[in-house]
């Protein structure tokens, strides 16, 4: 269980913070950037 030992070094708080950042980043990337840019490129309406 060497994997677990290393995992334990990282606190749960740290994980939550990083996870939140990642969640926000993935939202921004997919819903805002990807969808919007690709719809704009096709000259189609996209409200978000």
Partner 1 sequence: MLNLNGEKKKKIGAWLLLSMIGMLVLLPFTPAVVMAAEEKAAEAAAEGDAEPEKAKDVFYKGPGEFGIVSGPPAKEMVYPDDYGSYGDFQSRTIIWIANQQHLYFGSFVLAVPMFVWVMELIGILQYGKDRKAGKKFDDLAHEMMKISLTAYSVTAILGGILIFSFLALYPGFFRYLSGIFRPVMHIYALLFILESGVLYVYYYGWDAMNDGDGDWKWSHLALGTMLNAVGIVLMVMANTWVSFMMSPAGVDAQGRFLGDIWKVMHNPLMVPIVIHRILGNAAFGGGVVAAYAAFKFLAAKNIEEKGHYDWMSYIAMFMGILALIPLPFAGYWLMREIYAYRQQMGITLMGGLLAWVFIMQATMIATLFITVNYYLFQAMGRMPGSERYHRYFKYMLAILVVSTIAWLTPHTLVMTPAELKAMGGAQHPVVGNYGVMSAKNTAINTMITTTCVCFIIYQRCNFNVKVPWAWKGNLFLFFLVFGAEANIVFLGIYGYFIPANVRIGLSVPQVASTLTVLFIGVWMNVKMLKGAESVGEIRWGRMSVRGAYALFMLAVAFTWTMAVMGYLRSSVRLHWHVNEILRDNSPWAFTNPLGYAGNINSFNVLLFWTMLLFVFWLSALAGKGKEKVAAEAAAEAAGSAVPAGSH
Q: What residue ranges bind partner 1 (CB under 8 A)?
A: 2-3, 6-7, 10, 15, 18-19, 22-23, 25-27, 29-31, 34-35, 38-39, 42, 44-46
Cα-based distances in Å from 34 to 1, 3, 21:
40, 35, 18
Q: How far is the CB of 15 from partner 1 (least distance, A)?
A: 7
Token duo for residue 8: 């334990």
Instruction: State in angstroms the smallest separation of the CB of 46 from partner 1.
Output: 8
CB of 36 to partner 1, least distance (A): 9
């Amino acid at each position: 269980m060497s994997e677990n030992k290393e995992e334990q070094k990282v606190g749960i708080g740290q994980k939550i913070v990083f996870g939140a950042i990642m969640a926000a980043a993935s939202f921004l990337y997919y819903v805002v950037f990807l969808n919007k840019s690709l719809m704009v490129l096709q000259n189609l309406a996209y409200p978000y």
